[in-house]
Amino acid sequence: MAVQTLPFSSLLYIDKKSATPVYRQLADALTNLIRNSKLKPGYQLPSSRAMALMLELNRTTIVAAYEELKIQGWLEVIERKGIFVSNKLPVVKPKPFQKEEPEKSFPETEHYFYHRFSDPPKGSRELKAYQLLINDGYPDQRIAPFDMIFNRYKTLIRRTYLHGTLLTEQAAGNSFLRKELADFISKTRALDIGPDNILITQGAQLAIFIAARMILRPGSTVVVGDLNYILANRLFEELGAKLIKVRIDDDGIDVDAIEEICRTQKPDLLYLIPHHHHPTTVTLSGERRIKLLDIIRRYKLPVIEDDYDYDFHYENSPILPLASAAHGGYVLYIGSISKTLSPTVRLGYLVGSSDFIWQAAKLKQMVDIRGDVLFEESIAHLFNSGEMQKHLRRSVELYKHRRDLFCDALQIAASDIVNFERPKGGMAVWAVFPKEYSVTLLAERMAGKGAFLSDGSIYPYNSRINGVRLGFASLNPSEIAQFMQTLKDTL
């Protein structure tokens, strides 16, 4: 079997007129590549025959060079596999007068020529195969109808006559999926929309970015909850906006505070999650929704309504989105298909006026010419056939059962330490610990027992909160029992 290899004909210079034997030149050149980390320990070299062809040398010359390097300890032969750079190199490093840095292809620079988002962490938790993983609140991908999706995808990919038509789709996304989503959203959320009101994106995060980028400029102001989805906050700040934080309580965001802000300074954007706010899972009350809609109309306040898991409500019918009411065209609505199926399925959508979506599609085209149109077509088939709706009904019933099981067990295992409310929807419990209790230390000890739990570092909550999200939807009963026992033992 041929081995992928470096272009040695360019890397190795051989002077055939030199008094130094060719095999010696080759051995020295290979040694330099190893010393300079161009060839790392364990790297497989081409066979003597293949190297001779690349360098246009006699094979016996290559054999002699390899033999010389084996004797010196630079190379090793593994039977039936080939010739490799030795894992134990014969390098002697005398102390130099001046510190020498190894030659690297991409050395770190002191003066950065690129934009830096933040400094890399000095230490991070090792990624390993945990026996149990408690996530931020994701669906259980084990129950997703992937077989139906992939079977449809295989059917479409074989119909090559369709590919040309699909590849000429608008940047706004696959037309079949936009049509099916418009119909689904109209029926479930009472939004009076059509396909032209929908932009398909690679996940809801991209939808937030596109909507924000269409509105914000450096110096803009964005009203957000004081406890908020951290990646949205970072996105707004990266676009040059200033955050105005408003308190979140049991009834959602403080609408009176938003009105006061609008009276004194006109903010450029309001970002909120009315259903199952992230991270606290609270829902904006009906009374506050009515008042907020009046504020939006009076002050012409643009809004991004992030409704990432609207479909997962366990007690009563969910309150309709702000976007379903009369808002004067100022509310942009964002949803997620990833939250319906699996976090690995990157599909989200942005809903707005047809003109806004057309303009947003032009922006999207600059960073993402088009998504996987065959996959989008396959997802559209799920909606069209009714399988997506069946999957949602099964999921809601299952996740409700898991929520109850999880909360009952958490009450027994840690009620004296953990403060939480049984969420009315969503996929996670917001667990708050006493201020003197270290969530970071808890996560470290849980990891030592084979269970991954967020240490809260990715969510720099404000000083009045010491909490973490505990996702329950992706855990089956035995995994819930395992987590609770581990938590109890750790606490």
Let me know if 320 is exposed, middle or buried by CB neighbors in 10 A (0-12, 13-18, 19+): middle
Q: What is the mean pLDDT of residues 266-271?
A: 96
Closest CA to 184 of 354, 386, 426, 344: 386
C-alpha angle with apex 350: 349 to 354, nearest 5 degrees? 125
How far from 41 is each of 270, 413, 438, 478, CA to CA, in Å? 54, 50, 42, 44
Residue 144 lies in a domain: no
Tell whether omega for the bond before 279 is within 30 degrees of 0, i.e. cis. yes
Structural domain including 43 reads 8-85
Residue 1's pLDDT band, with cuts at 50, 70 and 90, is: very low
DSSP states of 330-358 as a string? Answer: -EEEEEESTTTS-TTS--EEEE--HHHHH
Please check whether residues 307 and 239 belong to one and the same domain: yes
Q: Please check the confidence at residue 3 and state whether its pLDDT lies above 60.
A: no
Q: What is the mean pLDDT of residues 305-326?
A: 89
Residue 51 lies in a domain: yes
pLDDT tens digits for range 272-290: 999 999 999 999 999 999 9
Please check whether residues 382 and 395 belong to one and the same domain: no
Please check whether residues 176 and 247 belong to one and the same domain: yes
86: left (phi over 0), alpha (psi -120 to 50) or beta: beta
What share of the chain has pLDDT > 70, as a percent? 89
The CATH number of whichever domain residue 445 belongs to comes to 3.90.1150.10
Phi, psi of 191 (to 5 degrees): -90, 125
Sign of CA dihedral 121, 125, 128, 133: negative
pLDDT tens digits for range 422-442: 999 999 999 998 888 888 888
Let me know if 208 is exposed, middle or buried by CB neighbors in 10 A (0-12, 13-18, 19+): buried
Residue 147 lies in a domain: no
Please check whether residues 380 and 405 belong to one and the same domain: no
Span of 90-99, 264-273, 339-348 with lowest mean pLDDT: 90-99
Q: Please check the confidence at residue 2 and state whether its pLDDT lies above 70.
A: no
Q: What DSSP element (H or E) covers 278?
A: none
User: Into how many domains does the chain fold?
Assistant: 3
Whole-number pLDDT of residue 122: 58
Residue after which a domain boundary falls, among 365, 386, 407? 386
Residue 330's pLDDT band, with cuts at 50, 70 and 90, is: very high
Q: Please check the confidence at residue 483 and state whether its pLDDT lies above 70.
A: yes
Residue 71: what residue type? I
Span of 2-16, 129-143, 185-199, 340-354 with lowest mean pLDDT: 2-16
Please check whether residues 216 and 340 belong to one and the same domain: yes
pTM value > 0.75:
yes
Residue 96 lies in a domain: no
Please check whether residues 68 and 168 belong to one and the same domain: no
Residue after which a domain boundary falls, among 386, 409, 428? 386
Mean of the per-residue pLDDT values of the chain = 88
Please check whether residues 356 and 452 belong to one and the same domain: no
Please check whether residues 427 and 377 belong to one and the same domain: no
Please check whether residues 349 and 439 belong to one and the same domain: no
Q: What is the mean pLDDT of residues 36-40?
A: 85
- Residue 53 neighbours by CB under 8 Å, 6+ apart: none
pLDDT tens digits for range 134-145: 999 999 999 999
pLDDT tens digits for range 350-361: 999 999 999 999
Residue 413 contacts residue 484 (beta carbons within 8 Å): yes
Whole-angstrom distance, CA of residue 126 vs CA of residue 145: 32
Residue 120's pLDDT band, with cuts at 50, 70 and 90, is: low
Residue after which a domain boundary falls, among 323, 351, 386? 386
The CATH number of whichever domain residue 31 belongs to comes to 1.10.10.10
Residue 424 lies in a domain: yes
Residue 94's pLDDT band, with cuts at 50, 70 and 90, is: low
Please check whether residues 335 and 447 belong to one and the same domain: no
Whole-angstrom distance, CA of residue 166 vs CA of residue 177: 12
Q: Please check the confidence at residue 202 and state whether its pLDDT lies above 60.
A: yes
Span of 22-31, 116-125, 268-277, 442-451 with lowest mean pLDDT: 116-125
Residue 213 lies in a domain: yes
Please check whether residues 437 and 459 belong to one and the same domain: yes
Residue 38 lies in a domain: yes
The CATH number of whichever domain residue 280 belongs to comes to 3.40.640.10
Q: Which residue has the higher pLDDT, 2 or 375?
A: 375
Residue 79 lies in a domain: yes
pLDDT tens digits for range 151-197: 999 998 888 766 666 666 678 999 999 999 999 999 999 999 999 99
Please check whether residues 214 and 340 belong to one and the same domain: yes
